[in-house]
Amino acid sequence: MAKNEEQNFAELYENSLKKLEEGTVVSGTIVDIVGDEIFVDLGYKADGIVPREEFSYADEKPADKYKVGDTIEAYILRMNDGRGNVLLSTKRLQTKQLREEFENSVKNDEPVKAKVTNVVNGGVIAETVGIKIFVPQTQLAKKVTDLTEYRGKTLDLKVIEYNPEKRKIVGSERKLVNEAREKASNEIWNNIEVGKEYDGTVKQLSDYGAFVDIGGVDGLLHISEISWKQIKHPSEVIRVGQNIKVHVLSFDKENKKISLGYRKAEDNPWLNVKYQVGDIVEAKVISMKPFGAFVELDDGLEGLVHISNITHTRIAKPQDALELGQVVRAKVVEVDLDKKRIELSIRELEEKLPEEEAKTEETANEE
């Protein structure tokens, strides 16, 4: 072959090869997988190689994902890895793509996920695809005294400040939570009805009741609506953090107030009262007032023993004859279902003292 022809052939061969540059993305065909290394035909004078450390962030192996003949895209790190191969990285390409997705999420005001890797003064550092995001303590969803409990957690964040040139990226977990809560709140207020049931979470207890989160809105569960029986404090029935099913008793959209009920109508003990006038029962003293003592007949069903029906002996207050928790025998003297009232008498079952009997006989003789 003449010299000129050899030169022309060499030029044609060179021109037929791909023009590759470091820092660009290239596509090729896998020609071999040796151990954890992938060899790629790039249509270039040298093959490309993807070493294990540049393959993936995960623990997967090349043979688990690819086979000979597959097409693969990779990022060119160096045109010569020292052994005559083009050094490639699928990991860097993945990072590049994920960073583009991250930037698009920031532009579109969409949430991003990031893992907390460090705790610093005033907040935590969360990372995603090598990008560090500072989350101030005031922008975390929970108020905590020890930020180390956040280390290792993956957070859903809204980027509230983005300045990559100055390496200043600030994220907020709280803003995302507040947005979700506002959306849920609007949903509730747009569809709320008296009687509608919700799955709620007990947030706070007080002497007069409990505040229950029904999914973005807090409602008041009054102590009288927690149980059919008298309780002194909501903690006797429910606890903070407990999930309970509640129903709407009333609501005020203008003032954003909701009254909730917890006790079920079908559990109302007054619906199936089995007691009649004249019945003799055993009941436990559960509370005392100046005018008498309340006793528990069944779970949630109470009766009143008026002070005049406690004993034949004259007393100034119920405590003079009874104790809280004492079980007494009493006779049912009145049942009024409309007024939800049962009156009982301990006195009628009590043996009269001699002086009381004498007074009774004396009164009878006078008549």
Contacting residues for 13 by C-beta, under 8 A, at least 6 apart: none
User: Is the domain 269-349 a CATH 2.40.50.140 member?
Assistant: yes
- Identical topology for domains 111-191 and 197-265: yes
State the greatest distance between any 2 C-alpha atoms of the chain, in Å, as a whole number: 157
The pLDDT, as a whole number, for residue 97 is 84
Helix, strand, coil percentages (3-state) for the chain, rounded to 5, are 30, 40, 35
SS3 (DSSP) at 106: helix
Cα 291 from Cα 305, distance rounded (Å):
9
CA 313 to each of CA 114, 171, 214, 288: distance values in angstroms, whole numbers, following the listed order: 77, 75, 53, 18
Cα 25 from Cα 268, distance rounded (Å):
73
Fold designation for 111-191:
OB fold (Dihydrolipoamide Acetyltransferase, E2P) (2.40.50)
The pLDDT, as a whole number, for residue 21 is 86
The pLDDT, as a whole number, for residue 263 is 87
Cα 186 from Cα 193, distance rounded (Å):
14
The pLDDT, as a whole number, for residue 100 is 87
Contacting residues for 277 by C-beta, under 8 A, at least 6 apart: 332, 333, 334, 335
Low-confidence ranges of the chain (pLDDT < 70): 1-18, 57-58, 299, 352-367
Nearest in space to 267 (alpha carbons), one of 218, 239, 228, 305: 228
Do residues 136 and 150 touch, judged by C-beta distance below 8 A? no
Tokens linked to 289: 């007032």
Residue that has been written with the tokens 């809280």 in this structure:
324
Residue that has been written with the tokens 């021109």 in this structure:
15
CATH class, range 16-94: mainly beta
Name the β-bridge partners of 28: 72
The pLDDT, as a whole number, for residue 9 is 45
Q: Which CATH architecture has domain 197-265?
A: Beta Barrel (2.40)
Burial class of residue 182, CB neighbours in 10 A (0-12, 13-18, 19+) = exposed
The pLDDT, as a whole number, for residue 366 is 53
> Beta strands 71-78 and 48-50: pairing type?
unpaired
Contacting residues for 286 by C-beta, under 8 A, at least 6 apart: 229, 230, 294, 295, 296, 302, 324, 325
Residue ranges per domain, the chain? 16-94, 111-191, 197-265, 269-349
> Beta strands 168-172 and 197-206: pairing type?
unpaired
Nearest in space to 18 (alpha carbons), one of 45, 40, 37: 45
